[in-house]
Chain A
Amino acid sequence: MLLRHTTDKVKERKALTVNPAKTCQPVGAMYAALGIHGCLPHSHGSQGCCSYHRSALTRHYKEPVMAATSSFTEGSSVFGGQSNLLQAIGNIFQIYEPDIIAVHSTCLSETIGDDLAQIVTKARTDGKVPEGKHVIQAPTPSYVGSHVTGYANMLEGIVKYFPTKTDKLINQINLLSGWVEPSDMKELKRIMGLMKVNNVLLPDTSDVLDTPMTGKYAMYPKGGTTIPEMVSMGDSLHTLALGEWATNKAAIALDNSCKVAFTQEDLPIGIKATDRFIQALSKVAGVSVPESISDERGKLMDLITDMHQYLYGKRVALFGDPDQLIPLTEFLLDMDMKPVYIVSGTPGKKFEKRMSALLSERCPEAKFKNGPQADMFLLHQWIKEEGVDLLMGNTYGKYIARDENIPFVRMGFPILDRVGHSYFPTLGYMGGIRILEKMLNEIMSYQDATCPDEKVELVM
């Protein structure tokens, strides 16, 4: 047994977190910043933060992940990190030549009270920011929220800086993407193409964290939302924000600064959430839904109805981030599955409300929790109380899956031990087909591997 100390009785905890279903803010800020073109993320804190976040993202994408650090020492921690950041900004522009530096803070720089905005302003007045170059910033105290909060804060930092309102509206909509994979961002752009909607997608990590092998290394790959695109967002007709935890702050900020109204939707995972996304898009952009989209929806419906017998009544345990878990729970319920246990380390009162609304009638036995002590240890204890047929979440789930002999689908961040997430989306109707393929493969492989010899089915 790998997790040999996990008890099957849940003991109340209020101080100890064991096997977290979240990590801290800065990694989200780093990921969001990688989705803008020509940007070098910068971590204002100890070296370890930057090293850990780069390592986690690198292991997840198997791609270069570049970011710089203020390399705090004891001195900077006592006297403030201003001189470190000023020096860093100068050095980065001279040595690594990005167009943009996206600075985020850490628990260290927040605890000592470094004011990023003030330091960045000083960098400008001190002439450390060359003409035409940009420094943006986001506070990301690690002791508030989770990695998702960091993503949201950096997105807010970006839209507070670049979008500019002129007196001329542009015939386009802004699409603020929650924390999804490069493949998903590419899928969003494909869907926008099918819908014929001019748009700016922010951030956009496609062609940044899924780059081809060419024998050449580009520190700033061709992907990412460009500066002119970000500037133009202030003149867009509307903003569609996908995933409330990750994008709501930025949508509000853009509404406040440039009066671009927004619609908040879930991430388009599964049927109904994708339906809502398509309908919202159709409404705010004034376009009709093309047949190609209806066909894709039909294919997803076709697959579900074909394979319903393998899904019906299956008990599923989920862990991850609210923006994914809410539409995923809805998707599972729509297919008559039972999402019985759900945890997310990411806090937010709306989680409880949304999950109650989804589950109270259709799966009243479900247990769900987010925020403090909503960790994988608790999830495992619930599973030990009464088992499940499927586990879905990031790579750390493999220890539970192995100990309890449960089929396991990897979804979320980080996925350290499988590939595919960079290339094959889980958003939209086609993404729904991929989620379904992954679930069915695991469920059916489990049946193949564990059923009695005489029960092995050739056709399934």
Chain B
Amino acid sequence: MVKKKDITKGLPDPSPLMDEILAKYPTKIAKKRKKGMVINDPSEEQEIQANIRTIPGIITQRGCTYAGCKGVVLGPTRDIINLVHGPIGCSFYAWLTRRNQTRPAEGEDNFMMYAFSTDMQDENIVFGGEAKLKDAIREAMEIFNPKAIGIFSTCPVGLIGDDVHAVAREMKAETGINIFGFSCEGYRGVSQSAGHHIANNQVFKNVVGLNDRDRKGKFQINLLGEYNIGGDAFELERLFEEAGIELLSTFSGNSTIKSMEYSHTADLNLVMCHRSINYIAEMMETKYGIPWFKVNFISAEGTAKSLRKVAEFFDDAELTAKVEEIIAREMAKVEAVKAAVKPKTEGKLAMMFVGGSRAHHYQDLFNELGVTTVSAGYEFAHRDDYEGRHVIPDIKIDADSRNIEEITVTKDEELFRDDLVAKKEAAVAKGMEFSDYVGMMPEMKKNSLVIDDVNHWETEKLIEFYKPDMFCAGIKEKYVVQKLGVPLKQLHSYDYGGPYAGFEGAINFYNEMERMLGTDIWKMVDAPWKSEPEIVGSFAFNG
């Protein structure tokens, strides 16, 4: 067994590791990669390079703009036909692979199990694909009769000059249903992140605000940036429902387009994944006056804190009492499991390189189990997700971010909620924080190593240096890391488990960590004859 780092007197200085990593790179690349690595000191303002191009040839975790737009943001919405305009692969790979669970009522539309594509052929590339796209929409109308269709552009679409927005307008007029396009060609940005932004813009422009429905509940909220992987959103729906909070729409786990249409009638927006959805939160506040704050329902403490903050905002005695009742009951269950699991997990080391919020959120869950995160980073986040939102004005706009449309949102004079603005001001006066995200780095230990857009070479070196007990990343990293004898927990797909959000989620995660950190199976990897003296002799040797 390899001896792991002693961290009882604080985390080791990772400078030698950084030097070793960078020594392998050509000089120019070493310089670039160095800016994406920070030896963390939470007492200081530190800058990390993030959301910049991956260097060609580097084995990155990142995907493309299309993946962020179709796969992440719109993929979980069940009653829209997400039609992918392009060659077949893009639609094929985004087909059910993200585990966004959904629970339609009997007879309700649910297109989640379907992959729709125009399957562009060479003649469409040469002569243009707009006619085929229109025909595909007509066929989809005739066969499926959906309430909405989204058109997703793949790489060749922009290059050959197909105008998906013009087609969307024309077909919207022809069919009478809501049809809108996304210019989310894979190359548009440096990662999935650009796709999130494009999706936010189009959903805000084309869906949010279509239905000024009357109030249904006393406390109306939206949950933004929760994608119901492994049923996370179901657990949160359970908590809100019991508390008497009307969850209008989730963007976009277990969601419908219909619910997004009246999401602007909410009193408050909760932001889970800041990276993928903060744009809609901001735009809704500008246009309708709906305040937002960051929540984290990953970890039991985080869930309790987030629920309390919602109750504090609404400032209603009955709601507060109900929330406290739920927290007390659920925390008792959580504490019982934690007490059984924590002795087996305490003192272990974890590292996580994933997504744009999970590498931060899951540190809270590990903290609850006494597991220290020695190194972490995001796959596609921006500086604000590392350093906090206060750095946003300082973030340099480069050519890659300039590609993405910035839409101008103005106040809706009729629907703007002055009452919410006043409510927010009163809450701020009492010390509540809004429109903020502190980021990952201030909440990580001194000397932890923060790396943006980690790559394969760096992953191998990290494991060699820290000998972690647990590595969290995605499917592409999973078996590499496990071959090295370190268990990997996928934090995109949850290894087909979950939910891990909310109180029940925390319990599930504790049990999962007990399984993964407690098993002796890794100790059996070496065959006994590797460590015992070899038998000399040849009595049964047939050679």
Contact surface of A with B, Cβ cutoff 8 Å: 2-5, 7, 11, 13-20, 22-27, 42, 45-49, 51-56, 58-59, 62-77, 84-85, 87-92, 94-96, 106-108, 111-112, 141-144, 146, 211, 213-218, 345, 372, 377, 396, 399
Contacts and interface: CB of A to CB of B under 8 A. Distances in A.
B475 to A, nearest CB: 5
Interface string B156-191: 101110000000000000000000000001111111
Given A20-B117, A143-B156, A5 B54 contact: no
Given A16-B136, A58-B479, A11 B63 contact: no
Contacts of A56: 93
A75 to B, nearest CB: 7
B406 to A, nearest CB: 16
Interface residues on B, range: 35 or more
Interface in B460-480: 460, 474-476, 478-480
Contacts of B476: 51, 54-55, 58, 65
B118 A211 contact: no
**Interface secondary structure of A, over-half rule:** loop
Contacts of A91: 26, 29, 55-58
A-B residue pairs, 3 tightest by C-beta: A48-B64, A24-B89, A88-B57
A77 to B, nearest CB: 5
Contacts of B109: 5
Contacts of B339: none
A20 B90 CA distance: 11
Contacts of A217: 460, 480, 483-484
B183 to A, nearest CB: 11
Given A58-B478, A144-B122, A399-B113, 11 more contacts: A7-B143, A13-B143, A24-B89, A26-B89, A71-B56, A84-B56, A88-B57, A91-B56, A107-B87, A141-B125, A372-B119
Given A16-B135, A26-B89, A111-B155, A11 B143 contact: yes
B485 interface: yes
Interface string B332-352: 000000000000000000000
B320 to A, nearest CB: 41
A71 B139 contact: no
B399 A68 contact: no
A69 B61 CA distance: 11
B118 A16 contact: yes
B24 interface: yes
Contact of A20 (B62, B119, B189, B475): B119
A377 B111 CA distance: 13
A73 B155 contact: no
B135 A15 contact: yes
A95 B159 contact: no
Nearest to B160: A111
A77 B187 CA distance: 7
B3 to A, nearest CB: 14
B63 A47 contact: yes
B100 interface: no
A107 B452 CA distance: 29
B114 A19 contact: yes
Interface in B112-169: 113-122, 124-125, 132-136, 138-140, 142-144, 154-156, 158-160
Contacts of A15: 118, 132-136, 138-139
Most chain A beta-carbon neighbours within 10 Å: one of B87, B121, B474, B475: B87
Most chain B beta-carbon neighbours within 10 Å: one of A45, A70, A142, A146: A142
B376 to A, nearest CB: 20
22 contacts: A5-B143, A14-B135, A15-B136, A17-B116, A19-B114, A24-B92, A47-B54, A55-B475, A63-B479, A64-B483, A66-B59, A75-B399, A77-B187, A91-B29, A106-B155, A107-B87, A107-B156, A108-B159, A141-B87, A143-B120, A396-B95, A396-B96
A54 B86 CA distance: 20
B400 interface: yes
Contacts of B118: 15-17
A396 B58 CA distance: 32
